[in-house]
Structure formats: structure tokens, C-alpha cells
Amino acid sequence: MKLPARRTSYGVKGAPYTFLIPATLLFLLFFALPIGYAVWLSFRKVRVSGLGLGAGAREEVWAGLENYTGALSDSELLNGALRVLGYGCIVVPVMLGLALLFALMLDSEKVRLAPFTRLAIFLPYAVPGVVAALLWGFLYLPDVSPFYFVLDRLGLPQPDLLDGGPLYLALSNIAVWGGTGFNMIVIYTALRAIPAEVYEAAKLDGATPLQTALRIKIPMVAPSLVLTFFFSIIATLQVFSEPTTLKPLTNSVATTWSPLMKVYQDAFGKGDIHAAAAQATLIALATLVLSFGFLRAANRRNKQEAAR
């Protein structure tokens, strides 16, 4: 007789809570408290008296929703949001599509050189961001880039990669290059967890490798696809390092190109942590709505499929 799955019984009720103590404690200390403080800061502002020099010139006062209304009516922030949405539409599908493709390829039976390619695709993750501006400067700037050199020799047109439309491609490329390996590994590990019996059954039914991939593997790694999608959305809405990397190389990337760059600028450049906190809270809320909305939709679909 098969026991019902996952039933807590005979005195193990306290166990999950005990297991979760470390995580909860760390969360309270390093996430909840700072987030709370940041939100609290977003309702305050600094008032300056007189010339503002010397002791006692500045004091923190209550600001109510001033920082929020300021953020919502700030055209820089809104433009940044639009830019980032466009950027996300390129990055997320391409990066996850590639990650899925590579993971499936790695998982196929007839693959060769898997350890090498696995390492190679993961390697971009290992290049520190500090080096990135230099690196992409060498690869993107017309005067030094080998690609322009080749295009020049072949007599082909040389688009300015750091301007207008191509700029989005240039930025997306950096993100895709850096992030595909990460997501590939996540999906790949999930693929390895699929029990062998499933494949046996498929083979007995005469499924080709392609059909196995599409009908069996992809649905079975759906949770990890959801995971990577969720975190990709967050990473995209909070994009910061790619535009900051390209900024010194070109006139086309403003200091506030993405919303998070504006937050950084206000917090660290202007020293106005209050406005930055309000903007960050708004960004967090937007991300929350988008990603949890997506998660809810995905879960509903899963339940529907399971019920079938």
C-alpha cells in the first residue's frame, strides 16, 4: 500500500521550521531590515538651511510621498524604463533560447566534447566586470576592433555599433554573452534529473530525439525554465552593469540610461539616498508585479496541465 505523499506526521511538525531558522534569520538581518530602512528613507528628505556649509546645516525631515511623486514624474526615469523594456525584449528570449538550446544539446546522447564546450560557454561568467569596459571597447570601437578591420577589408558597410538601434544589440550582446552559460547550467542540471525510465518509455514508443526533446524534456524542465525566466526579468529590469560598461566608450549612453543607473547616480553621485530609495522601491514594485504575475500565470498553466 502506498502511503500518501508528503504528509507530515508523528512529531515532525517542528522540523521544517528548525531547518528554516538560518535562512529566516539571515533574511531578517540582511534583507528585511535594510529594505525596511530603505523604504523608510524614501519617505524622508534632507533640508538645508542657509548656505549649507558647516555643522547643523542639514537635517532629515519627513517628506511624505514627495520622493515618489518626484520619481513618477521624472522623465529620465520613465525614458529609462522604456529603454529597458526594449532591451529586455531582445535579451530575455535570445539568452534563454540559447541556454535551452545548448542545454538540450549537452544532454543529447550523441554529443562529443561536452566537457570542453560546457566550460567554454560558462567561461564568460568568470570574466570580472571590471575588465569588461576595456574588453568591449576593443571589440566595439571602430578604430581598434578586429571586426571592423575585417569588414573594412571586405569592403562591407561598417555600422556604428554604439549608436541608436545597433546600441541595443551591442548591449544585449554583452548580456547574452555573459548570462547564457549560467542559465544553461541551471537547465542542464534539471535535465540530468529526469529519470531514465521516462526516456526508456519514449524510445519504446519510437520517439525520435527531436520529439523527445520537444515533448518530454522541455516540459519536464519547465520549473527551471520558469526560474531562469523569473530571474532574467529581474536582471533585465535592473540592468546596470552593461550600460555602465559602455558609457565611457561612447556619447550615446547617458548616465541615466537605465532606471537603476539613475538610482545609482542619485544615491552615489548626488548623495541623495532618499530619492534613490523611492525610485528603487518603485522599480522593485514594478519587478514584483511583472515577475510574480508571470509566476502566477505559469503556475496556473502547470496546474491546468497536471489536471488534464
Partner 1 sequence: MSSPALREAEPSAGTARETAPGPGRRRRIAMVPTVTLLLGALYCLLPVAWVVIASTKSGAELFSTFTFWPGTGFADNVSDLNAYRDGVYWRWMGNSALYAVLGALLSTCVSAFSGYALAVYRFRGRETLFNVLLAGVLMPPVILAIPQYLLLAKADLTDSYLSVLLPQILSPYGVYLARIYAAAAVPADVVEAGRMDGAGEWRIFSRVALPMMVPGLVTVFLFQFVAIWNNFLLPYIMLSDDEKFPITLGLHTLLEQGANTPALYTLVITGAFLAVFPLVALFLVVQRFWSLDLLSGAVKS
Partner 2 sequence: MPYTKRRRLVSSAVAVTLGATALAACGSSSDDGEAQSGPVSLTYWTWTPGMDKVVDLWNKGPGKKEQITVTVKKQASGDTLVTKILTAHKAGKAPDLVQAEYQALPTLVSNDALADIGGNVGDARSKFADGVWQQTTLGTDAVYAVPQDIGPMMFYYREDLFEEYGLSVPATWDEFAETARKLKKKAPDKDLTTFSANDSGLFAGLAQQAGARWWTTSGDKWKVGINDAATKKVADFWGGLVAEGAVDNQPMYTPAWNKALNTGKQIAWVSAVWAPGTLTTAAPDTKGKWAMAPLPQWDEGGSSTGSWGGSSTAVTTDSGNKAAAAKFAAWLNTDGEALNALAKESGIYPASTSAQLSGAFTTPPEYFSNQPDFYTKAAAIAETTAPSAWGPNVNVAYTTFKDAFGAAAKNKSDFTAALDTMQQDTVADLKKQGFGVAE
From the list partner 1, partner 2, none, partner contacted by residue 272 (C-beta under 5 to 8 A by kind): partner 2
Interatomic CA distance for residues 238 and 260, integer angstroms: 6
Other CB atoms within 10 A of residue 137 CB: 17
Residues that bind partner 2 (CB under 8 A): 32-33, 35-37, 39-40, 45-58, 60, 70, 134, 137-138, 141-144, 163, 248-252, 254-256, 265, 268-272
Grid coordinates representing 247? 558609457
Closest distance of CB 162 from partner 1, Å: 16
Q: Looking at beta carbons only, is 226 or 254 nearer to partner 2? A: 254
* Radius of gyration, CA atoms only, the chain: 25
Closest distance of CB 84 from partner 1, Å: 13
CA distances from 196 to 106, 192, 217, 219 (A): 16, 9, 12, 15
Q: Looking at beta carbons only, is 51 or 113 nearer to partner 1? A: 113
Grid coordinates representing 73? 514624474
* 3 DSSP 8-state letter: P
Q: Looking at beta carbons only, is 186 or 253 nearer to partner 1? A: 186
Contact 242, 171 (CB under 8 A): yes
From the list partner 1, partner 2, none, partner contacted by residue 155 (C-beta under 5 to 8 A by kind): none
Closest distance of CB 85 from partner 2, Å: 21
From the list partner 2, partner 1, none, partner contacted by residue 163 (C-beta under 5 to 8 A by kind): partner 2
From the list partner 1, partner 2, none, partner contacted by residue 223 (C-beta under 5 to 8 A by kind): partner 1
Q: Is the dihedral of CA 87, 90, 93, 97 positive or negative?
A: negative
Closest distance of CB 268 from partner 2, Å: 5
Q: Looking at beta carbons only, is 51 or 307 nearer to partner 2? A: 51
**H or E stretch including 236?**
helix 222-237
From the list partner 1, partner 2, none, partner contacted by residue 190 (C-beta under 5 to 8 A by kind): partner 1
Contact 98, 306 (CB under 8 A): no
Grid coordinates representing 31? 534583507
